[in-house]
Amino acid sequence: MYRPLPLESFELNQPVPINIWDPKGTLLLRKGEKITSEQHRGHLMLHGPVVLASDWQAVSYAYTVGPEIFVFSQRSVVVPAL
């Protein structure tokens, strides 16, 4: 199942975290490639970009929960001296 993709949520010159497709299933941008300019973003938008719903859910979850997991995993434990 595909879901519309808000391309404005991705920064220019940063790797995209998921594959981007057109509604017919043609790959427009592979995971890890970059949107290089506003013109490039505009060309992608002309194709009505979509993503797999499961991919978008995973990315959305990672952006909301990921920082918390990182903070908790990097927490140092201080043991008082006896």
pLDDT tens digit string along 6-55? 878 788 999 999 999 999 999 999 999 999 999 999 999 999 999 998 88
Helix (H), strand (E), coil (C) string for the chain = CEEECCHHHCCCCCECCCCEECCCCCEEECCCCECCCHHHHHHHHHCCCEEEHHHHHHHHHHHHHHHHHHHHHCCCCCCCCC
- Asked whether residue 69 is domain-assigned, the answer is yes
pTM recorded for the entire structure: 0.68
- Asked whether residue 27 is domain-assigned, the answer is yes
- Asked whether residue 79 is domain-assigned, the answer is no
- Asked whether residue 36 is domain-assigned, the answer is yes
pLDDT at position 59 is 77
pLDDT at position 66 is 47
- Asked whether residue 82 is domain-assigned, the answer is no
- Asked whether residue 81 is domain-assigned, the answer is no
Number of domains in the chain: 1
Query: Which domain covers residue 36, as residue numbers?
Result: 2-73
Top-ranked range on mean pLDDT: pick from 44-48, 58-62, 75-79: 44-48
